[in-house]
Amino acid sequence: MMEPVPNIRIVLVYLPIVCVCFFISSCRSEALISSEEILPDPTEISTNQTENTGNRDLEPTKTIKLYHEDQFSSATPNNTAPRMSEDSSKQRFPVTGVEIYALQEKTGIELVHESGANWVRNNGLIWPKIEPNEGDRNWKAVEELETGLVNAAENGLQVILVVFGTPEWAVKSPGNSCGAVRPDKLGAYADFLHDAVLRYSAPPFNVKFWELGNEPDIDPSLVTPDWRFGCWGEAGEAFYGGEYYADMLRAVYPQIKKADGDAQVLVGGLLLDCDPMNPPLVSADTGETKDCTPSLFLEGILKNGGGEYFDGVSFHAYDYYRGLDKYENYNWSSKSDLNGPVLSKKTDFIRDVLAEYGYEEKPIFNTESGLLCGKHGQEPECLTNEFELTKANYAVKANTTAYAISLESYIWYSLLGWRGSGLASETFEPFPVYYALTYNISRLEGSAFIGELEDYPGVKGYQFEQNGRLFWIVWSQDGSNHTIQLTEEPSVIFGVYGSELPLTKNLVVNQSPVYVEWR
């Protein structure tokens, strides 16, 4: 859930900050609502929107001041008309989900449910907690998790459950409870997973998606021994431990399927720390580039015949705040004004690797994503309207992109956040991003993706069809305003939070996404 590894894995440095998060989050929530002086030409918009939200009524507790709703300034026009596609029959459930730490927290689960999200991810099911001694299982040790799984099922949420940790008696690298299972204990791991799947796939839990490890493409030496990520990576290996992870999959997959034939086994969410095809520069003086061998982990799995022993690949994709409506991921040469959210680059990389080994049809799940700010999210620039509004725009762009490129899931990390990424405060008061994402989910649910708008330099846009209505989601990619001159006036135009905007045939697009609909 963190990248790049060397800079952010030493999370213990920031643990004292957690103690004051509740206080700061409460202050932050009030500041976002009351501070108006820095918002250019604000428009007061009630977020209690009911039109075009499916069966869900949004009932926020606040009226907030929003910017970027001034969509109609002058710029250079292009001529266009909306167009339909023959391939508009594939309607999909929401790809959107949210990670939540405590599934038993009723308020949090309800907030996720009310957003319209389909997925909830939890990290997760701890093997050493259940089986500290081989053969001696204590399921009561995870009673809180079980309560949470029931809560999620009752709210209609699909759970992606992360299985992590290795008991001391089974770990390959002694002293690292996040580490790989040693070869002679792979059978014991398979037995544990069989029993876990048998237990939790049935009502009232109904878990069908199992993520084996969290960022396994990390060497154990880079993380704290008992943290909830890593660490099957093997520094110095050509494919960084991916080949041995394939051995594990070969051992456990049949037992998981024996317990539940419908269970979906996911490669644990890959960090993919940097682009091995284009390694980032570390030193301009020497020309040294970053070691991106860890990103070859997936290829190692496939190279060792692991492709038949998983049902999907999960990965993580974060961008980093660089100012108002600006973000980047340097390790993937990804920037807001070039390609947008980094998840598209990482998806392309995964698909290329899968295709090389004949598994191009494997589903891909983005199981952690978000916009991060600073080292811990409490720096001054992270407590501003600019950051929160950039985060709202970012979430819509990333979720729409995930839908358009056919990801199975796009899961925001997390409800309460990390490094400023939260959808809500510690007291479950939603930030603007929550409302933007909720409206985006309602528009995409049940819609069919038609295609990308490709005729307008500097503009990113996608076409969808929903219940016989064509609509676009469009924004400026390069940071400048662009006017698209429409030949047919839209029936309605909505802003990023679902507020209705003035109708026009001269659509000015800026960095805040708009929804343009023809009925």
Instruction: Say whether pTM exceeds 0.75.
Output: yes
% the chain with pLDDT above 90: 75
Average pLDDT, the chain: 85
- Four-way CATH pick for 35-82+453-518: 2.60.40, 3.30.530, 1.10.10, 3.30.1380: 2.60.40
How open is the CA angle 384-421-447, to the nearest 5 degrees? Answer: 110
pLDDT band at 424 (very low <50, low <70, confident <90, very high): very high
The pLDDT assigned to 112 comes to 96
- HEC profile of 396-462: HHHHHHHHHCCCCEEEECCCCCCCCCCCECCCCCECHHHHHHHHHHHHHCCCEEEEEECCCCCEEEE
The pLDDT assigned to 302 comes to 98
CATH number for the region 5-25+93-445 comes to: 3.20.20.80
Nearest by Cα to 269 from 243, 232, 323, 221: 232
Angle of the 143-154 helix axis to the 106-114 helix axis, nearest 10: 30
248-290: per-residue pLDDT in tens?
A: 999 999 999 999 999 999 999 999 999 999 999 998 899 999 9
Residue 409's DSSP bridge partners are 365
Q: Where are the domains of the chain?
A: 5-25+93-445, 35-82+453-518
pLDDT band at 82 (very low <50, low <70, confident <90, very high): low
Determine the residue type at 490.
P
How open is the CA angle 479-481-483, to the nearest 5 degrees? Answer: 140
Which segments within 9-168 are labelled E, that is strand?
43-46, 63-66, 77-80, 96-99, 119-126, 158-164
Residue 122 has pLDDT above 80, yes or no: yes
CA distances to 243, 261, 340, 506 from 399, rounded to whole Å, are 32, 30, 12, 26
Residue pair 389/68 in contact (Cβ under 8 Å)? The answer is yes
Q: What is the CA radius of gyration of the chain?
A: 23
Cis peptide bond prior to 27, omega within 30° of 0: no
- With H, G, I as helix, E, B as strand and everything else as coil, classify residue 42: coil
